[in-house]
């Protein structure tokens, strides 16, 4: 897959991985020295390439960048033994085949992903349970990303990790935030291994002001859910049983006709004597 419109001083292989891994496994990333602002990305399969083109083509990055994607004539990327150095002092080629941050490594992992187009609301997860909104805000500001307009922590479902939603001022800022801050390591106060914060675009179009309470316990720094209780109303009066339908009595009235006397008998024949 070909990627155009990149700003060489702001993008490297890891930042491209952070964005494109939302749509499939990223295998290799290579910047082209002969074409400034152009890179090639090899995905794990053709379906992942189609997802990327469908969701990321012509997407704004930050305030002045625009991503343009296209199919490559090459079936795969060859390894580069001596890659040139990008402006940020990182290598222009990287192999991500063994990266644990790929999210489609097996069917179970793939089914957990919700493919969403870029939006200004970002979902974060796999973060420390004692995470605060101030820490989330600092992650982006320290990396040169415009501060989020809204940060909301979900009530904790367990003591193992936390999650929540972040809203940025525009889709372009959200895209830049994922490229810059996805897979940031956060300190683990209860262990020696850090939490790797994971970001993805959310299907939510607005961030609710409160969340329903979780069945698990929640720490004091979690976003408290506001529950509005409706007044208890008295039960309605019982509905009386329906009245039986009225009984209609049909009275047969005999019809009286005048009595007509029977007709007189016919006269006897008269016999004349001879």
Q: How many CB atoms lie within 10 A of CB 219?
A: 13
- Give the pLDDT score at 261: 66
CATH of 2-76+84-97, one of 3.60.20.10, 3.40.190.10, 3.30.70.330, 3.90.110.10: 3.30.70.330
Q: How confident is the model at residue 257 (pLDDT cuts 50, 70, 90)?
A: low
Task: Assess whether pLDDT exceeds 90 at residue 242.
Answer: no
CATH superfamily of this structure's domain 121-201: RRM (RNA recognition motif) domain (3.30.70.330)
Q: Is 34 exposed, middle or buried (0-12, 13-18, 19+ CB in 10 A)?
A: exposed
Mean pLDDT of 205-228: 52
Q: Collect all residues with Cβ–Cβ distance below 8 Å to 256 and sequence separation of at least 6.
A: none
Strands 68-70 and 162-167: unpaired
Tokens at 80, concatenated:
């580069």
- 2-76+84-97 and 121-201 agree in CATH topology: yes
52-110 residue pLDDT tens? 999 999 999 998 889 999 999 999 999 999 999 999 999 999 999 999 999 999 999 99
* In the predicted structure, residue 259 carries a pLDDT above the cut 50: yes
Nearest to 31 by CA among 14, 13, 44: 13
Average pLDDT, the chain: 85
Task: Dump pLDDT digits (tens) for 117-151.
Answer: 999 999 999 999 999 999 999 999 999 999 999 99
For helices 13-20 and 171-181, what crossing angle results, to 10°?
A: 120
Confidence band (pLDDT; 50, 70, 90) for 252?
Answer: very low
Give mean pLDDT, residues 229-239: 58
Average of pLDDT values for 107-117?
A: 94
- pLDDT digits over 157-203, tens only? 888 999 999 999 999 999 999 999 999 999 998 888 999 999 999 99
pLDDT of 250 reads 46
What are the domain boundaries of the chain?
Answer: 2-76+84-97, 121-201
Q: How far apart are CA 181 and CA 8, in angstroms?
A: 18
What are the DSSP calls for 89-150, one per residue? S-BSEEE-TT-TT-S-SSHHHHHH-------SEEEEEEE-TT--HHHHHHHHHTTTPPPPSE
Q: State residue 223 phi and psi, 5-degree precision.
A: -70, 120
Q: Which residue has the tokens 């399969």?
A: 45
Q: Are 236 and 166 in contact (CB under 8 A)?
A: no
DSSP 208-222: -S--PPPSS---TTS
d(CA 222, CA 42): 40
Asked whether residue 116 carries a pLDDT value surpassing 90, the answer given is yes
Q: Is the pLDDT reported for residue 227 higher than 60?
A: no
Mean pLDDT over residues 2-27, rounded? Answer: 97
Q: Distances from the Cα of 165 to the Cαs of 140, 182, 209, in angstroms? A: 14, 14, 11
The residue assigned the tokens 């187009």 is 117
Structural contact between residues 43 and 49, judged by C-beta atoms closer than 8 angstroms: yes
Q: With 60 as the cut, is the pLDDT of residue 256 above it?
A: no
In which band, very low, low, confident or very high, does the pLDDT at 223 lie, cut at 50, 70 and 90?
Answer: very low
Q: Chain-centre distance of CA 96, in angstroms?
A: 26
> Band of the pLDDT at 214, cuts 50, 70, 90?
low
């Amino acid at each position: 897959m070909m990627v155009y419109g990149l700003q060489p001083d702001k993008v490297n292989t890891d930042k491209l991985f952070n964005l494109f891994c939302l749509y499939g496994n990223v295998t290799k990333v290579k910047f082209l020295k002969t074409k400034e602002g152009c890179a090639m990305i090899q995905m794990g399969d053709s379906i992942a390439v189609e997802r990327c083109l469908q969701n990321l083509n012509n997407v704004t990055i930050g305030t002045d960048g625009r991503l343009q994607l296209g199919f490559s004539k090459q079936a795969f990327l060859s390894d580069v033994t001596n890659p040139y150095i990008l402006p940020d002092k990182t290598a222009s080629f990287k192999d991500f085949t063994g990266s644990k941050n790929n999210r489609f490594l097996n069917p179970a992992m793939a089914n957990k992903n919700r493919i969403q187009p870029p939006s200004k609301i970002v979902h974060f997860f796999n973060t420390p349970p004692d995470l605060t909104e101030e820490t989330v805000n600092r992650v982006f500001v320290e990396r040169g990303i415009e501060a989020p307009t809204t940060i909301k922590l979900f009530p904790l479902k367990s003591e193992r990790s936390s999650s929540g939603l972040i809203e940025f001022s525009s889709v372009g800022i959200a895209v830049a935030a994922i490229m810059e801050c996805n897979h940031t390591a956060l300190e683990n106060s209860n262990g020696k291994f850090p939490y790797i914060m994971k970001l993805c675009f959310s299907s939510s179009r607005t961030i609710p002001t409160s969340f329903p309470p979780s069945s698990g316990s929640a720490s004091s720094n979690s976003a408290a859910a506001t529950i509005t209780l409706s007044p208890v109303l008295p039960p309605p009066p019982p509905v009386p049983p329906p009245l039986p339908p009225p009984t209609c009595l049909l009275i047969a009235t005999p019809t009286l006709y005048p009595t007509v006397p029977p007709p007189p008998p016919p006269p006897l024949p008269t016999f004349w004597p001879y």
